[in-house]
Amino acid sequence: MWAAAGYSPLGELLFEPASRTEPALQLWLLCFLTFGVAFWLSARHKGAGAIWLLGLQTAAAMGVLATGHDGSEGVLLCIVAAQAPSLLPSRRATQWVVGLAVLTATVYFVLLPFESAWPMAAIFAGCMGFTTMVARLQQREAEGRRELARLHTELKAAQVLLADREREQERLRISRELHDSLGHHLTALSLNLEAASHTVTGPGEEHVRRAHKVARTLLGEVREVVSSMRDGPSQLGPSLQALAEGVPGLDVHLQVPDKLSIPDPVAAQSVFRCVQEVITNTLRHASAKNLWIDVIATDEGGIQVHARDDGKGAATLKPGTGLTGMQERFAQLGGKVELRPAGGQGMELVAWLPARGGEG
């Protein structure tokens, strides 16, 4: 569209050397090239600077229209209108496009005869309205996909936690069965063997004493197994891998040691919720394609979560409810959460728990 808008004047500049000295054509070329460069940068720029580039495109397009030939250069303003919904809030985008339509109509009525001006103004006002509406629908669809991806992540997190809870309940059931059934019988056997050792004499006495010793040893081992099943560390790796797999619209690159375990269940859940919150916030706010998360055991015996994305970032950041809750949860365990925003360079998060909260 940009090239089509400049077809006729560019041809004049190329094939009619005398026209190159005309101030109006020189100004047109400057505005035309400025628009192209600003649009190219805007398509690749992230952050608040894109709004300034949108303003530069608007000014350049109006300059092209004012110094153009037949008014067809108004197509450049349709390009501007198509970008407004993705860079501005809904109300401001509407105001911007309405202002464009009014300015465009003013230029047409100043430069063209009335019978030519009003059809051109009406056509391009309609085109700007149409492109704005299409862009807004596309924006809403993208927001809907991000919200669906966020809900998908939360549902997957709930499934993972439910599966962990079911495994925990099964471990507790088995430990209770071992304690109540096998432990009871071994205790009775040990008591009977001890009583027998005081009544048996002769060659059988030594065998009874050995059997009593084996029974006590077996009873101690059963108690150790029951205790380890009740209080065993949480294997965090599989749960985090399940959470990070298949996130719609985002490639999550998770690095976590295979045998990473956290004895404290509260600390384990805090780390899990931290990773979940990072994925959710990246989907909702970052406009990122990739998210890198490293969960490692520190040299001091603690746990560290390091996350970064390739999204639009932010010059400043005001933590919402999720991030604030994460910071409070880690602080209660003696840890901390640091956020390192950078406009146009993605977001970085570092969370840490002390040794009493985790071990590798």
3-state secondary structure of 319: coil
The answer to pTM > 0.75 is no
Token output for 300: 């001091």
Average pLDDT over residues 45-51: 67
The span from the CA of 108 to the CA of 49, in Å, is 30
**How deeply is 18 buried, as exposed, middle or buried, from its count of CB atoms within 10 A (0-12, 13-18, 19+)?**
exposed
Given a cut of 60, whether residue 52 has pLDDT beyond it is yes
Q: Is the pLDDT of residue 213 over 80?
A: no
- Could you tell me if residue 314 is inside a domain? yes
Of 106-115, 121-130, 195-204, least confident by mean pLDDT is 195-204
Q: Total domain count for the chain?
A: 2
Spatial CB neighbours of 284, under 8 Å, sequence gap ≥ 6: 146, 147, 150
Residue ending a domain, choose from 128, 143, 158: 143
Classify residue 212: in a domain, yes or no.
no
The answer to whether 327 and 338 are in contact (CB under 8 A) is no
What band does 359 get if pLDDT is binned at 50, 70 and 90? very low
Contact 302, 353 (CB under 8 A): yes
Whether residue 205 is contained in a domain is answered as no
Q: 129 and 241: one domain?
A: no
Q: 94-108: per-residue pLDDT in tens? A: 888 999 999 989 988
What is the DSSP track for 146-170?
A: HHHHHHHHHHHHHHHHHHHHHHHHH
- What pLDDT score does 25 carry? 81
On average, the pLDDT of the chain sits at 80
The domain of 341 spans: 234-359
The answer to the question of residue 265 being in a domain is yes
Query: Which of 81, 112, 143 is at the close of a domain?
Result: 143
Q: Are residues 130 and 246 in the same domain?
A: no
CATH, residue 318: 3.30.565.10
Domain boundary pick from 119, 143, 167: 143
